[in-house]
């Protein structure tokens, strides 16, 4: 991430955090966007601008960050309705559909998004794309059992598939203990048809395509911050 890109993301996150109000249950996404959002929320709690905030983390990492900065957390079992979720995305198309899962938390992120009244996605302008799949692969969370059959299936569909790995080359595991396969489909013209095929396949737990999941995207770039809303 360049210095400019990091600063743009910080600007967009600060814009989104302005939507947080006292008493809210707030979904906390995974990754750098969520960490910055937690920091800003914690600052506002400390100086009294925000009170009685409860965070619902999308990952173990997000939970650790929230607790480290003093933001109280709960689970969806305790607080099943979320007022506002702030999260990032890997790619955003003109209809505000998304590819998510670059951090490996796509399953929990999707569950939290579906439980939220309002989802605000924060990105820098490099994440905007004319069509999903143009810039990014689609992450799939798959169970370890029979993973090779999933790879063969996806490659037969024309995807270039790679196992997500950690820095030490070991296989990346999600918080559920599953694997991530990153699938390069190229520009995806038939999103809903691809989703139908992926969701019909046993062993594929979740995919990183988020259609109709959000109504707002905050984008920051060289020309400033834009607040995009679904038409």
Distant-in-sequence contacts of 210-213, Cβ < 8 A, 24+ apart: 210/89, 210/97, 210/98, 210/99, 210/100, 210/110, 210/113, 211/97, 212/97, 213/97, 213/98, 213/110, 213/113, 213/114, 213/119
Residue positions annotated with a catalytic role: 109
DSSP structural state of residue 127: G
Is the distance from CB of 71 to CB of 35 less than 8 angstroms?
Answer: no
Beta bridge partners of 229: 216
Beta-strand (E) ranges in the chain? 25-28, 54-57, 84-88, 91-92, 98-99, 119-124, 138-142, 160-163, 179-184, 204-207, 209-210, 216-221, 224-229
C-alpha torsion 206→208→209→211, nearest 10: 80
Which residue, among 231, 213, 24, 221, has the nearest Cα to 121 in the 3D structure? 213
């Amino acid at each position: 991430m360049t210095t400019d890109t990091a600063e743009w993301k910080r600007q967009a996150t600060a814009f989104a955090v302005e939507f947080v109000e006292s008493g809210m249950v707030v979904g906390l996404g995974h990754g750098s966007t969520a960490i910055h959002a937690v920091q800003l929320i914690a600052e506002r709690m400390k100086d009294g601008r925000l009170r009685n905030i409860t965070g619902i983390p999308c990952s173990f990492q997000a939970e650790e960050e929230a607790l480290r900065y003093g933001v109280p957390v709960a689970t969806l079992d305790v607080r099943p309705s979320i007022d506002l979720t702030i999260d990032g995305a890997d790619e955003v198309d003109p209809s505000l559909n998304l590819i998510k899962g670059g951090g490996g938390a796509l399953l929990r992120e999707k569950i939290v998004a579906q439980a939220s009244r309002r989802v605000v996605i924060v990105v820098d302008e490099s994440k905007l794309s004319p069509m999903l799949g143009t810039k990014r692969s689609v992450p799939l969370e798959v169970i370890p059992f029979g993973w090779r059959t999933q790879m063969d299936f996806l490659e037969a569909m024309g995807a270039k598939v790679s196992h997500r790995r950690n820095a030490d080359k070991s296989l990346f595991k999600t918080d559920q203990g599953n694997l991530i396969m990153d699938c390069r489909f190229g520009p995806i013209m038939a999103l809903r048809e691809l989703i139908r095929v992926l969701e019909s396949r046993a062993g594929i737990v979740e995919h990183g395509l988020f259609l109709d999941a959000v109504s707002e995207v905050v984008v920051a770039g060289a020309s400033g911050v834009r607040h995009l809303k679904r038409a």
